[in-house]
Amino acid sequence: MGTDAGQQEFVRMAPGLGGMVLSAVGYRQHGAQPAVHRGLPSPYLTLIFSLDGPVTGGLTPEQSDGFATDIVIGGLHDAPTYVRQPDRQTGVQLAVHPLAARALFGMPAAALSGQVVVPDGREVLGRAGGEVQERLREEERWEQRFDTLRGYLRRQVATARPDAVRPEVAEAWAWLARHGGAGSVGGLAKHVALSERRLTALFRAETGISPKQAARLMRFERAKERVVRAVVAGVPPDLARVAADCGYYDHSHLVRDFRQYTGVSPTGWLAEECRNIQAGGHLNGTE
C-alpha cells in the first residue's frame, strides 16, 4: 500500500500452534520519513526477526538507541517503548503467549521481566534462532518465509524441555482471557482455589507480572482492537461505548490506561498511527 509515509505492506500468517503464537505479521516499509514509533504494551511477548538491519529503540523518545538487535525478544511491560523507524524496514513480528515462553524460548516469561527487549535475542534462541533469521532474510516470498518460520516454531515445541506451567496459573490466565480482563482478583483466586497472595506469587513467578497487571493489559488490548477496527471501517471510535463494552468503569478510566500504555491520549495515538492503521499494521488478529 502506498502512502506519503512510503510503501507499506503487512502480510499475516496463521501460526497453527494451538494458541502458543497469537499472531504473526510480515511487514515491509520502504521510502518513509525516518521517525520514532511507539511500541505498545500488550498481554503477549514480542518476537521479531528483522530482515533489514537491527531494530533500534529505547525507553524514551530521546533515548531511542538503548538497544539494537536483529532478533527482538520482549517481555511483558506496562509502558511504551520507542523504536526508530528507518526509511527501509522488513521483518516478521510475532505475538507469543506468555505461557508458551518455556516451549519457544526455553524459559518462563518471568525471566524476561524487567527487560522490555533482550539485548541480543540470539542469546535466548541460540544457534537455531540465528539460522532461521538468516534463512528468512535470504528468502524473497512471504509464503517461503512463513513456511520456514512454522517449521522452526514446531521444532522448538517438539524439542522443548517438559517444564510444565502450573495448572492453577494456566487456568488463571485462561479465566482472565475469557473475561477480557474484567472480573476481580478475588473471584479469580476463588476460581482456581488459591488465596490471592498465593495466586499472585505463582502467577508473577511464571509471567513476571501480577494477575491484576495482566487483566489491565488484556482490557487495554481489547479496547485498542475495538478502536482500531472502527478506524479501519471508517467509523469514528465511540470511546465511551468502547470503555463500557471492555469493562472499564467509565470513559476516563480508558483514557487513563491509554495514557499509561501509549504515553498519549486515545485521540493523540490515533493521530500518530492513522496511516499504519489504515494500512493494516494494527490488525494483529488476536481477537
**In this structure, which amino acid lies at residue 79?**
A
Q: What pLDDT was estimated at residue 280? A: 62
Strand partners, 56: 68
Length of the chain: 287
At residue 2 the predicted structure's pLDDT band, cuts being 50, 70 and 90, is very low
For residue 160, what pLDDT is reported?
84
Domains contained in the chain, CATH given: 2-158 (2.60.120.10), 167-212 (1.10.10.60), 213-278 (1.10.10.60)
Task: Write the pLDDT tens digit of every residue in 147-191.
Answer: 999 999 999 999 887 778 999 999 999 999 999 999 899 999 999
The string of pLDDT tens digits covering residues 163-174 is 789 999 999 999
pLDDT band at 87 (very low <50, low <70, confident <90, very high): confident
β 81-85/21-30 pair status: unpaired
Predicted local distance difference test score (pLDDT) of residue 287: 40
39 has pLDDT over 60: yes
- State the average pLDDT over residues 46-55: 93
Assigned C-alpha cell, 173 = 490466565
In this prediction, residue 129 carries a pLDDT of: 94
What are 214-254's pLDDT values in tens digits?
Answer: 999 999 999 999 999 998 888 889 999 999 999 999 999 99
Query: Residue 283 pLDDT more than 70?
Result: no
Where helices occur in the chain by DSSP H, the ranges are 101-105, 121-138, 142-158, 167-178, 185-191, 196-207, 211-232, 239-245, 251-262, 266-278
Which H or E element spans position 95?
Answer: strand 88-96
Q: Evaluate if residue 1 carries a pLDDT over 60.
A: no
- At 60 the pLDDT is 86
Q: Is the pTM of this model over 0.95?
A: no
